Amino acid sequence: MLVMFCCFLCSFIATSNAGDILRANQPIKNDETIVSAGDEFELGFFSPGSSKNRYLSIRYKKAGEAIVWVANREAPLTDASGTLVLSSEGTLNILNGTNSTIWSSNSSKSKSIKNPVAQLLKTGNLVIRAGDDPDTGNFLWQSFDFPDNTLLPGMKLGKKIAKNSSAGRDWSCRSWKSSDDPSPGTFQVEIDISGYPQLFLLNGSTKYFRSGPWNGVRFSGIRTSGPNGIFVFDFVFNEDEIYYKDELVSSSVLTRVTVEPDGRVIRYTWTDQSNKWEQYIFLQADLCDVYAHCGPFGSCNIYTTSRCECLKGFHPKNLTAWSHLNFAEGCEPKTKLNCSSKDTFVKQLKKNLPDTHTSQYNFSLDLKACEKKCLEDCSCTAYANTNITGKGSGCLLWFGDLIDIRDQGEVAQDFYVRFAASGSARRIALIVFLSIILITTVVLGFYMWHVCKHRKQITEEMLENEVDYEKEDLPFFDFRTISNATNNFSNNCKLGEGGFGPVYKGTLEDGKEIAVKKRSACSMQGVEEFRNEVSCIAKLQHRNLVRLLGWSTTEEGERMLVYEYMPNKSLDYFIFGDNANKALLDWPQRYNIINGIAKGLLYLHEDSRLRVIHRDLKASNILLDYNMNPKISDFGMARSFGDGETESNTARVVGTYGYMSPEYAMDGAFSIKSDVYSFGVLVIEIVSGKKNRFFTHPDHNLNLMGHAWKSYKENRLSELIDVSVLSSDQDEVFRVILIGLLCVQQYPEDRPNMSSVLMMLTSKATLPHPKQPGFFNERKLDEADTSHSTLCLSSLNQTITIVAPR
Ligand SMILES: *[C@@H]1O[C@H](CO)[C@@H](O)[C@H](O)[C@H]1NC(C)=O
Ligand SMILES: *[C@@H]1O[C@H](CO)[C@@H](O)[C@H](O)[C@H]1NC(C)=O
Ligand SMILES: *[C@@H]1O[C@H](CO)[C@@H](O)[C@H](O)[C@H]1NC(C)=O
Ligand SMILES: *[C@@H]1O[C@H](CO)[C@@H](O)[C@H](O)[C@H]1NC(C)=O
Ligand SMILES: *[C@@H]1O[C@H](CO)[C@@H](O)[C@H](O)[C@H]1NC(C)=O
Ligand SMILES: *[C@@H]1O[C@H](CO)[C@@H](O)[C@H](O)[C@H]1NC(C)=O
Ligand SMILES: *[C@@H]1O[C@H](CO)[C@@H](O)[C@H](O)[C@H]1NC(C)=O
Ligand SMILES: *[C@@H]1O[C@H](CO)[C@@H](O)[C@H](O)[C@H]1NC(C)=O
Ligand SMILES: *[C@@H]1O[C@H](CO)[C@@H](O)[C@H](O)[C@H]1NC(C)=O
């Protein structure tokens, strides 16, 4: 009864105009709204943030009341006296208190229409049309043609080419000044069509971020790739229109992309389960994304210390400036170009393509013809395919400087750069190459010998030199405190052997429980891991990452690290344990653990301040707190983007068999997608209660990933599930397995990134079909002998290091 009364009251308070249509000469006042069919969007006068001004806006009715479009951005109403009127000619006008028109919808079609109506469509598009003509092609005006700071599904981002019969149009999104002030800010996302189309984020008139051209599949520089089950996107490129658009896959998830006042471009998603807008950074994630960071002919690689490298065949123009990390002048060819038909082209591997501002293209040429065309024109500097699908097709030509290139394993494309014809060039290159190999071998051999002989001495030096504990702001615990806490490092307190030494449990005087990691002195590996751990984790704080509390030294000067104590051991103890142990983790807990790991990993990958690739994600590195919340531990192998990465390190493959992605184990190529692969393995292990490594099945020779894939193909997923999980919500379990399979797909570009994974986990959206997993029947590598490569470690299950075959 009371409820009914409330509803009755509410219907009076929220004076919605009951319906999605506004008719001519039926004004909407300050406190009235019209609502789209399905209740998603509403149109009315609202005040964004803490502003007192009123703006005619469209906002999500329920989803956080987020405003997605503002009409009078530049002409705020300062009081509640505004009205919206549709004139009988079909123009929307906002009138202020003294009946002056402060904003008007300007329709390009001059002819007036009969019986006009304004309607707020289900998509959030406000349209003006003839009352008896709902045909979308005949809208007199629509708000989707005048984007604000938000790109909604169904909205176009791009350009309409002006023809003499109709005007051109620019669909671009511009940020607000601040969250309280929707007047135009400085950042704008637009499609530039001056050359081959590409997406730009501008700060004023300065190019701030560039996506790279559309490569037939996606914008080549945007890393938010892979299937996500929430939206699909499309790029239309014809004589009349060039635009990007995405569409929702299911109505259970909402998504929008917003250009924020500070220049971040964020994709937001909302589900009823999350009940808030979850954020995923969409463009510009790191330094290499800054436009032209490495100057002409330079290429940015986020994994190297200096970041900038010259393209193959090029060297820095000004070595002094270059070595002072001033890259603006860029690189020049080692052999000066002197146009000749004998010029050759050097293939540049896996790059985000250069700025296409002054490029030319022809879709009907293939790569061979493309090369010929480039050779014929002296100012042509490079060429590539326009469409990477299949063997590739189309021809894209660059003229002049090549700007804004980055190394980008996941979504990259090869292209070809002009190289001066010189008979001796190849021979010289070969000689240089051989000499480098020879020298490297000698130096490496000497180094190894040296290391073995003086290992201990070197480790000490490295520690002193490379870990600046004070600089990391890490608290210091004195030895006596730690010694007392751990009962003088008694064996009773020993929790186990970590990646690089014993770990002890301790209790500080105030009762706080800690875990202390000692470094064992015997290996080089230990030192580096120790250093890594400190430099990576000290700056990171997240509820799904193990917290480093401080450091200490033994009396002999050995370093120790102090962590928060995790009472519930590690995940492998439960999921691979005996049936009693397994039963301790029911499905909701397992689901929560998967979610937690995903969140921790997302934080590592996409925190824009310090992006980290863990490289050794596995069940034994997931620790559990009192409430069985997962915490990712052991950052000994992690690489942060700000970290000094040398050539030899990239040749060192570290990780654990069974969790390593194919491209990483084979080629040493690691990226966030190799972590995604490990995550996928972990997910399937959590659901199945079996180890990927050592998995056997009576019917076939596949490993666990192969078995999961086979079960999926044969529609027998229930056979994969652990008994302790069997009785739970099967749909949810299947869904999670599917997400796991998407993560272990063979090719990194097919795997979703962690933000997509979280979106898929937290929504009920339909998932794409996974392709074949990597390593699904490759037992050879799995069973390789690891004992030589492990130094201090003995257990087979441990992290290993191998030197990648090059
Ligand atoms: C309405 O707008 C006109 C013209 O901009 C202005 O002169 C007038 O003061 C405004 N009235 C109110 C109530 O804001
Ligand atoms: C504004 O127009 C409305 C409707 O035409 C009228 O009722 C009202 O008196 C006008 N207000 C002023 C201040 O002119
Ligand atoms: C409407 O269009 C006319 C002519 O094209 C222009 O002068 C006027 O400023 C426009 N008004 C608004 C509010 O955009
Ligand atoms: C464009 O204008 C030119 C000259 O004014 C005319 O010859 C041509 O037919 C027009 N094209 C279209 C598509 O209207
Ligand atoms: C955008 O440009 C303005 C003015 O040139 C500058 O002050 C500001 O720092 C820039 N913002 C970013 C994020 O680069
Ligand atoms: C790219 O090439 C594939 C295969 O040739 C074709 O199906 C697709 O339509 C092309 N895409 C574009 C945008 O041209
Ligand atoms: C190279 O860069 C340095 C430092 O930026 C500058 O002083 C010098 O003039 C440059 N040399 C040339 C040849 O441009
Ligand atoms: C460039 O080529 C022309 C004609 O082949 C030749 O005369 C000239 O000396 C060459 N210049 C250089 C710098 O090699
Ligand atoms: C593209 O190449 C084809 C084949 O050489 C040629 O016929 C066509 O005119 C070219 N198109 C453009 C726009 O240059």
Q: Report pLDDT digits (tens) over 437-495.
A: 666 665 565 555 454 344 444 344 444 444 455 555 677 888 888 888 888 888 888 88
Using CA atoms in the order 221, 227, 233, 234, what is the torsion angle rounded to 10 degrees?
80
Is it the case that residue 83 has pLDDT exceeding 90?
yes
- In angstroms, the CA 82 to CA 101 distance is 10
Q: Which residues, 6+ apart, have CB-to-CB distance to 324 below 8 Å?
A: none
Max mean pLDDT range (331-340, 615-624, 775-784): 615-624
Rounded distance between C-alpha atoms, residue 623 and residue 546, angstroms: 8
- With a pLDDT cut of 90, the percent of the chain lying above it is 30
Range list of β-strands (E), 214-319: 231-237, 241-248, 253-259, 265-271, 277-281, 298-300, 308-310, 314-316
If one compares 624 and 390, the residue with the highest pLDDT of the two is 624
> Which pLDDT score is estimated for 522?
52
Instruction: Give yes or no for a contact between 117 and 128, defined as CB atoms under 8 angstroms apart.
Output: yes
Distance between CA atoms of residues 650 and 602, nearest Å: 23
Bridge partners of residue 548, in order along the sequence = 563
**Span 181-237, pLDDT tens digits:** 999 999 999 999 988 999 999 999 999 988 888 888 778 767 655 567 778 888 999
Half-sphere exposure of 640 (CA within 13 A, CB side): 22
Mutate to test the pocket of ligand 1, among 96, 101, 103 (most ligand atoms within 8 A of CB): 96
Q: Is 135 a catalytic residue?
A: no
The residue from 192, 404, 616, 722 that is catalytic is 616
Residue with tokens 């490759």: 778
Atom of ligand 1 nearest to the CA of 99: 1
Average pLDDT over residues 379-399: 89
In this structure, what are the phi and psi dihedrals at residue 311, rounded to the nearest 5 degrees? -60, 160
Superfamily of domain 571-803: Transferase(Phosphotransferase) domain 1 (1.10.510.10)
Separation of alpha carbons 380 and 358, rounded Å: 11
Q: Lowest mean pLDDT: which of 117-126, 187-196, 726-735?
A: 726-735
SS3 545: strand
Task: Write down the CATH number for the domain with range 18-146.
Answer: 2.90.10.10
Each residue of 553-587: pLDDT tens digit? 877 767 788 898 888 888 998 898 888 888 888 89
Higher pLDDT, 789 or 579: 579
Indicate the angle between helix axes 730-743 and 587-606, nearest 10 degrees: 30
Q: Considering only CA atoms, which residue is closest to atom 4 of ligand 3?
A: 106
Ligand 3 within 6 A of 110 CB? no
CA 582 distance to own-chain centroid = 33
Query: Going by C-beta distance under 8 Å and a sequence separation of 6 or more, which residues neighbour residue 82?
Result: 29, 30, 45, 54, 56, 94, 95, 96, 97, 102
Q: How far is CA 73 from CA 55, 57, 174, 256, 493, in A?
A: 7, 9, 11, 19, 65
Write phi, then psi, for 467 (nearest 5 degrees): -110, 115
Q: Whose CA is nearest to atom 3 of ligand 3?
A: 106
Output the CA torsion sign for 195, 237, 257, 129.
positive
Q: Which of 105-109, 376-380, 707-711, 742-746 has the lowest mean pLDDT?
A: 105-109
Average pLDDT over residues 504-531: 75
Write the CA distances from 384 to 62, 151, 370, integer angstroms. Answer: 47, 30, 8
CA quadruple 691, 697, 702, 705: dihedral sign? negative
Question: CA-CA distance, 500 to 529, in Å (whole number)?
Answer: 7
- Partnered with residue 801 across adjacent β-strands are 654
Out of 389, 395, 396, 413, mutate this one to test ligand 6's pocket (max ligand atoms within 8 Å of CB): namely 389
DSSP, res 77: B
Confidence of residue 180 (pLDDT cuts 50, 70, 90): very high
- Is residue 499's pLDDT more than 60? no
Angle CA 680–682–684, to nearest 5: 70
Q: What's the pLDDT score for residue 534?
A: 76
The 3-state DSSP class for residue 193 equals coil
More confident residue, 216 or 403: 403
Structure tokens at 272: 């009823």
pLDDT bracket for residue 303 (50, 70, 90) = low
- In the reported structure, the alpha carbon of residue 389 is separated from the centroid of ligand 6 by a whole-number distance in angstroms of 6
Please tell me the least confidently modeled range out of 122-136, 141-155, 225-239. Answer: 225-239
pLDDT at 527: 65
Residues 6+ apart with CB under 8 A from 85: 25, 27, 28, 92, 93, 95
**pLDDT value at position 152?**
95
- Residue 78 exposed, middle or buried by CB count within 10 Å (0-12, 13-18, 19+): exposed
Task: Give yes or no for residue 795 having a pLDDT over 60.
Answer: no
Ordered by start, the domain boundaries in the chain are 18-146, 153-285, 288-421, 479-564, 571-803
Nearest CA to ligand 1 atom 9: 98
List the Cα angle 659/677/542 in 5-degree steps: 95
What pLDDT shows up at residue 586?
87
Name which of 518, 509, 522 is nearest 555 in CA terms: 518
pLDDT at 187: 95
Asked whether this chain's domains 479-564 and 571-803 adopt the same fold, the reply is no
Each residue's pLDDT tens digit, 241-279: 999 999 988 777 889 999 999 998 988 888 877 788 887
The protein residue with its alpha carbon nearest to ligand 9, atom 3, reads: 364
User: What pLDDT score was predicted for residue 432?
Assistant: 57
What is the homologous superfamily of the domain 479-564 according to CATH? Answer: Phosphorylase Kinase; domain 1 (3.30.200.20)
pLDDT attached to residue 359: 92
780 band by pLDDT with thresholds 50, 70 and 90: very low
Q: Please, is 782 exposed, middle or buried when counting C-beta atoms within 10 Å of its C-beta (0-12, 13-18, 19+)? A: middle
User: What span, in angstroms and rounded, lies between the C-alpha atoms of 379 and 395?
Assistant: 16
Report field, pTM of the whole predicted structure over 0.85: no
Q: What is the pLDDT of residue 226?
A: 56
